[in-house]
Amino acid sequence: MRDAALEVVRVLQNANHVAYWAGGCVRDMLLGREPHDFDIATSARPDEVAALFRKTRLVGVQFGVVLVRTFGHSLEVATFRTDHSYEDGRRPTGVTFSTPEEDARRRDFTINGMFYDPVADEVHDFVHGRSDLKTGLIRAIGAAAERFAEDHLRVLRAIKFASRFGFAIEPATWEAMKESAADLRRISPERIRMELEAMLSRPGRDVAARMLADCGAIDHLWTGSWALHSIMPRITTALGALPDSASFEQALALLLVGYQPKLAVQACRELRSSNESTDRVEWLISHQHTFDAPDALTLADLKLLMADAGFAELVAYVAALHCADARPTALVDSIRRRAEAIPQKDVAPKPLVNGDDLEQLGIAKGPIYKKVLDAVYYAQLNGELTTREAALDRAQSLARNPESGQ
């Protein structure tokens, strides 16, 4: 992608246009990080950009944005611009094509407002982003209140960048964030979830949660999210105890740890989480007390948990909670040891008895089938039944006296 981005700049410059890499890729490069994507800013108008490349698509022509496909990568090429007024807290009503300096001054934070010429190997910094990058500071460009009024989501973006890079937030920017936090209610749930996912899916998630609470943003994420203030110390400690590689679902489940499963699902739905993500959060919260008394967890119960793809996540999730509650690590360690001692082939073996067997035993079809099969399989997992003959005998006995399987 870097080669593709360099080629696009070369083509534009060879056609006598100004062209730079812009924004986050410049920030990451100066931090010694490999950028995940490259945006290009240019003096060329959209029609001029389209005329220079074979494969282009106008994705935001009203904002001067063209998608250029080259070297197998798609890159956004945007004309330098100034934005008109914002009416929806998200997008400008229009734009005027302008200069690199004016374009820099419409951006969100100084560390994201720099340009880089990869051909001349020169950084163009009109907003003092390089000095803020060196001192580790998130600072809004220009009047902070105006930047947050333009796009309310910038409150969450400031927290995302601060927690990701271990930066502080400049005082005037922080005060403007607190004053603008309530405007998050005007932002679509999908955009809020995307920013939450970006800040909670990596180390620094505990810092992010603390900032969300301290600036008041936590109050406006979903219905009733203000209640998290009372347990935020527990939440942040648990988030800090998660492995670096922990998933968004593990972190979100910790944010929702005080919720009943149904209310947690409701919060996920409000954030427009996918069904898969919502189910994982619900499963983690539903099983958060599973390891409270390890000795009470039967072999069958443990195998049923291990058979779920989220078992490793559950262990790490519960361990983080135990850390937050200053509970002995031995509680989770004992579960880990027991799980490691179980051969993988024994975790979810083929059932010794199935529905066809019950039919051959003369058991009338009905709800009793599930009850009998579940009870027999549970006994099999528990090591109580090891042969098909014994399992058939147990099934017949349970069919005659269903209560005996309770």
Q: Name the amino acid, one letter, at 386.
A: T
- To 10 degrees, what angle do helices 299-306 and 330-340 make? 80
Q: What is the pLDDT of residue 61?
A: 65
What pLDDT, on a 0 to 100 scale, did the predictor assign at position 88? 54
- Predicted confidence at residue 90, as pLDDT, reads 59
**What pLDDT band is residue 57 in, cutting at 50, 70 and 90?**
confident
Report the candidate in 337, 315, 319, 339 with the shortest Cα–Cα distance to residue 327. Answer: 319
Angstrom distance (rounded) from CA 53 to CA 329: 60
Across residues 51-74, what is the average pLDDT?
82
Contact between 131 and 166 (Cβ < 8 Å): no
The percentage of the chain sitting over the pLDDT mark of 70, rounded to a whole number, equals 95
pLDDT at 292: 86
Using alpha carbons only, give the angle 11, 12, 13 rounded to the nearest 5 degrees: 95
Mean pLDDT over 132-145 rounds to: 96
Type of residue at 160: K
Minimal CA–CA distance to 329: which of 286, 294, 301? 294
Q: Give the pLDDT of residue 406.
A: 47
Q: Please tell me the least confidently modeled range out of 27-36, 76-85, 268-277, 309-318.
A: 76-85
User: 98 pLDDT exceeds 90?
Assistant: no
- The answer to whether the CB of 391 falls within 8 A of the CB of 376 is yes
Domains, the chain, in order of start with CATH, read 1-135 (3.30.460.10), 355-405 (no CATH)
- What pLDDT does 71 receive? 82
* 0.75 exceeded by pTM: yes
Torsion sign (Cα): 380, 384, 387, 393? negative
**Measured between alpha carbons, how far is 379 from 386 in angstroms, rounded to an integer?**
9
Beta bridge partners of residue 57, listed in sequence order: 67
**Is the pLDDT higher at 331 or at 91?**
331
Using CA atoms, how far apart are residues 280 and 314, in angstroms rounded to an integer? Answer: 10
Window from 68-77, 266-275, 320-329 with minimum mean pLDDT: 68-77
Residue 201 vs residue 291, higher pLDDT: 201
Distance of alpha carbon 106 from the chain centroid: 27
As a whole number, mean pLDDT of residues 176-183 equals 96
What average pLDDT does the structure give for the chain? Answer: 91
Cα–Cα distances in angstroms (integers) from residue 37 to residues 50, 282, 363, in the given order: 20, 33, 62
Looking at the predicted structure, is the pLDDT value of residue 41 above 50?
A: yes
